[in-house]
Amino acid sequence: MMKTKYILAALALGAMPAAAQETYQDAKLMETDLNGTARYIGMGGAMEALGADLSTITSNPAGIGLFRKSVINVTGGMVMQTDAKTSLNANGINFHFTGHSNLPSFDQGGFVWSSRTGRNSYLNLAFNYHKSRNFDQILSATNTMTYASQNKLSAIKDRTLPSNAEWAWNGVDHNYYSRVMGKTVPDANKNSYLEYLDGSAFAFGQYAHGYIGEYDFNVSGNLHNRVLLGLAFGIHDVHFNSQSYYTENLDKGAISNVWEHLRITGTGYDAKLGAIFCPIENSPFRIGVYISTPTYYDLTMNGWNDMTMTGPDGTGKVVSRSPTDPAYADYDFKIYSPWKFGVSLGHTIGNYLALGATYEYADYGSIDNRINDGSYEDWYGNTYDNSHSDGRMNDNTENVLKGVSTVKLGIEYKPIQEVAFRIGYNYLSPMFNKNGFRDGSLESPGVATAMSTDYTNWKSTNRFTCGVGYQLNQFSIDFAYQYSQTNGDFFPFMSVYESDAAHSNVVDASKVSLKRNQLALTIGYRF
């Protein structure tokens, strides 16, 4: 049965059908980490043509067809964010929030059952779990402002948006509207608008945690060591949580403090199809190609926003104000991720050197945000959900997000048969357009149910990896290290430009960076 959601918004929206999501929150779910077995990480993920590693099940499932023996693998490790800051002291703001920068992680576990069907043919069945997305992240930013503030954005929307633009009011607007700021005295035309205060500086802190776990079921075949085919069906398990803290120094000695909590859970499913070809007989050179369907997510979001504003009243007495009914949202929605395509090259030299290279592409501007219409029951008692695309938010997504190219390079060297050394590089082009912004004025349920105004335009991601492996009879142990860095431009809210600078609401980008160190250890057994 479809869940009905409620949100307290500036125009008393009341109950409404389940909604779509918002572009920048979508992007959090679309990004993928370089994660899996330690061998896969150490090679930079460039194993879609080399195969014979459980992690290739998530990209090119044909790689499972290269196993000649049955295998069990388990991987765990540690993720550390080196640039994490939970205390900020800048621009007259002393700011602290709670978050963990170093956390253990269970990253992978799976098996392959290999059976010979002919002299040079195999039919393999496999299952693999891996953490495709680790949300553990601390993000902080601070900067100065001139003629700008979060509450001024709400005031501008109150003044400029038509009265029937009910879907353009978010939870932040509601809280400023609900007793915190109030209305001005009506003018000669009997118009009254939301009051506001300009800000001089802001500080922002966010602690996100959780993961997306992917469970893949695979069947693959090896035909005479020339053609390998693989098919995988994946189930995605989403657990995202974040706590955000935002404060502004405002004129007239006022201070605004805002708290947001966001929780997204749900599931998704996809399918992957891949092939590996050996174009030259008796040559170790391989070409891999693969395609992945969209991940069809069915998700639930719970969010709330609360705030206080402290400052002198008309008599000079310092008072604090907070909304009488803090904004809250609880809704179901759907997101369809883009198709993904990849091509890979692999080559081995003797029994001591393996070379891999992979290119992937996905157009994230084509993400489909969908609004749930309700559910219906067929003749046999089966229940199905109806939904349709959120056209306005999809147009925004197309303008903000773009196609991402992923390049993977890896080398494995074995000085002796039992020992392997690995090095890799993994690059992701930017997902966000440089001038993209979180449009809080859209007539979209994704805006109406938003509990925050901040956004970050992340740039390219560079990952450097290395690793070592040891094989002793049926047992193997592999270790990998990964360093990744992504820089970005953070904005506490969208900018609004008017001819008069004092009536504009323009905020400059704050430079932020996400730097991660990851350690991974895989234990394997062949039989």
Q: What is the 3-state secondary structure (H, E, C) of 227-292?
A: EEEEEEEEEEEEEEEEEEEEEEEEHHHCEEEEEEEEEEEEEEEEEEEEEEECCCCCCCCEEEEEEE
- Structure token pair of residue 388: 């349709």
* Beta carbons within 8 Å of 191's beta carbon, 6+ residues apart: none
Least confident of 86-90, 122-126, 500-504: 500-504
Can you give the CATH number for the domain in which 361 is found? 2.40.160.60
Residues 6+ apart with CB under 8 A from 60: 48, 49, 51, 230, 272, 274, 275, 276, 288, 289, 290, 342, 344
What is the model's pLDDT at position 223?
87
* Residue 19 clears pLDDT 60, i.e. is over it: no
The pLDDT score that the predictor gives to residue 90 is 85
Residue 190's pLDDT is 63
Check residue 187 and give its pLDDT: 62
- pLDDT tens profile 248-279: 999 999 999 999 999 999 999 999 999 999 99
pLDDT, mean over the chain: 91
Query: Is residue 470 within 8 Å of 421, Cβ to Cβ?
Result: no
pLDDT at 17 over 50: no
Q: Is the model's pLDDT at 188 over the cut of 80? A: no
pLDDT category at 82 given cuts 50, 70, 90 is confident
Taking residues 196-214, what's their average pLDDT?
96
Q: How many domains does the chain have?
A: 1
Q: Which domain holds residue 504?
A: 5-526
pLDDT at residue number 20:
60
Min mean pLDDT across 34-38, 112-116, 231-235 is at 112-116
Q: Is the pLDDT of residue 8 over 50?
A: no
Residue 230 sits at φ, ψ, to 5 deg, of -150, 145
CA separation for the pair 158, 432 (Å, rounded): 29
Judge whether residue 12 has pLDDT over 50: no
User: What average pLDDT score do residues 209-213 get?
Assistant: 97
Between 319 and 216, the higher pLDDT residue: 216
Residue-level pLDDT at 11: 31
Residue 117: is its pLDDT beyond 90? Answer: no
Alpha helices in 148-232 (DSSP H): 150-160, 171-175
Taking 80 as the threshold, does the pLDDT of residue 375 lie above it? no
Q: Would you say residue 360 has pLDDT above 70?
A: yes
At residue 158, the pLDDT reads: 92
Span of 57-71, 111-125, 286-300, 417-431 with lowest mean pLDDT:
111-125
